[in-house]
Structure 1
Amino acid sequence: MIAKLTGTLDDTGPDWAVIDVNGVGYLVHCSAKTLTHLGIRGDKVVVHTEMQVSETDQRLIGFTSAGERAWFRLLTAVQGVGSKVALAILSALSVEELQRACANGDSAMVARANGVGPKLAGRIVNELKDKAGGLAGYASLPGPGGEAVPLPAGSASADAISALQNLGFKPAVASTAVAAALKDLGEDAGLNDLVRVALKRAAG
């Protein structure tokens, strides 16, 4: 399984890039946003990858982050969403926008992607709504207006939300509890304190 490539951007096309890793060129299929992020020929790049193998084909799909790759996996788990449609969605929306759309039930935003009709967009939002809060490397906290505000992966808040979910709390409950703990403890609170206070909030 090839999980990551580190090398030089050798060539690009409408939906693919060739990454030269020590003289070996890997053809990687990418979203438009990933291709833009990679830069120009000759640039040093790091690409997170997902290998897809079928009876007639095997291909590498490339992403700028592990979080984007995790969203690709979530999308392709939805009935009717193949790799082409998933990449179209990731071309139209950033992972933050996709997470917000799923968390808020905004199927119209998902339907902006090429090849995604209202019915499929609705199915995607419905199936991924509960996962939008803390999975896929992008946890979120409720913002001032109740909207989902993404957190960077690896932050104490994101890790605290993940910890509460691992204990069985739903994403929305975990996010709200951690938001309350942050308010009590301050933005610089450590993970252990956040989890301890958030647990009391969630259990209460």
Structure 2
Amino acid sequence: MIGKLTGVIDSVDDGTVLIDVGGVGYLATCSGRTLGRLSVGETAMLLIETVVREDAIQLFGFADVAERSLFRLLQTVQGVGPKAALAILGAVPADDLVTAIAAGDRGRLLRAPGVGPKLAQRIVAELADRIGRLGSGGGGAVPPPAAMVAGGASQDAVSALINLGFRPADAYAAVARVAGRLGADATR
């Protein structure tokens, strides 16, 4: 399996990038956010998720670990394949997606093409607890949103709620709602 490619960007076209690695061109499908970070002629590194099917081998490229982790996690939900996961990641930034799932905000997921109310509800229902295990190293865990990094007031609040017996998903949802009202600079 291919896990990472470093090379010169040969072309960026319609959701894909052609990256030249030592004279071999690899075609990887990427989200619009990842494609926006790439420039033709420059050297770049892409984290790769290799998907092997009966009729094809596809490479999906990501600019960072959080996006690749969410891509993997989203595919654990019934009805979400690689293309749907990529569409979601293209419509909702990784930090916002983590917060939306933890807060039960289906509306943000509905921004992605091909995601209807039922699929959005399924994603939130199936991933809320798994998103809540941020940093535990458990299967499918992804990095916390930037607003909730270790040592921050939001992370402290989440930790306190979890220690009081709240489910991690509920704790993140509550803190995300309050942080949205008070702003990112709130410390109390």
TM-score if structure 1 supplies the norm length? Answer: 0.69
How far did residue 107 of structure 1 move?
Answer: 0.5
How far did residue 14 of structure 1 move?
Answer: 1.2
Report 1 or 2 for greater relative contact order, CA contacts < 8 Å, sequence distance ≥ 6.
Answer: 2
Which residue does 1:100 correspond to in 2?
99
Which residue does 1:49 correspond to in 2?
48
How far did residue 131 of structure 1 move?
Answer: 1.8
For 2:37 and 2:28, locate their aligned partners in 1 and report how far apart those are by CA, in whole Å.
Answer: 14
Instruction: Report the CA distance shift for 1:112/1:174 in structure 2 as closer, same or farther (over 3 A).
Output: closer
For 2:113 and 2:171, locate their aligned partners in 1 and report how far apart those are by CA, in whole Å.
Answer: 33
The answer to whether the 8 Å contact 1:138/1:150 transfers is no
Task: Give the partner amino acid of 2:4.
Answer: K
Task: Give the partner amino acid of 2:115.
Answer: V
How far did residue 27 of structure 1 move?
Answer: 0.4
How far did residue 13 of structure 1 move?
Answer: 1.0
Which residue does 2:9 correspond to in 1?
9
Gaps of 5+ in 2: 136-140, 159-165, 173-188
**How well do the aligned residues superpose, as a CA RMSD in angstroms?**
2.5
Which residue does 2:83 correspond to in 1?
84
How far did residue 66 of structure 1 move?
Answer: 1.4
Which residue does 2:143 correspond to in 1?
138
Gaps of 5+ in 1: 142-148, 162-168, 176-204
SS in 2 for 1:102: helix
Q: How many residues align?
A: 156
The question of 1:62 aligning with 2:46 is answered: no
Runs of 4 or more consecutive aligned structure 1 residues displaced over 2 Å after TM superposition: 155-158, 169-175
1:69-113 superposed Cα distances (whole Å, 9 cap, x missing partner): 110001011000011110100000110010010010001110110
For 1:62 and 1:17, locate their aligned partners in 2 and report how far apart those are by CA, in whole Å.
Answer: 8
How far did residue 139 of structure 1 move?
Answer: 2.4
SS in 1 for 2:46: strand
TM-score if structure 2 supplies the norm length? Answer: 0.75
Instruction: Report the CA distance shift for 1:140/1:92 in structure 2 as closer, same or farther (over 3 A).
Output: closer
Which residue does 1:75 correspond to in 2?
74
The answer to whether the 8 Å contact 1:92/1:112 transfers is yes
Which residue does 1:190 correspond to in 2?
none
Which residue does 2:125 correspond to in 1?
126
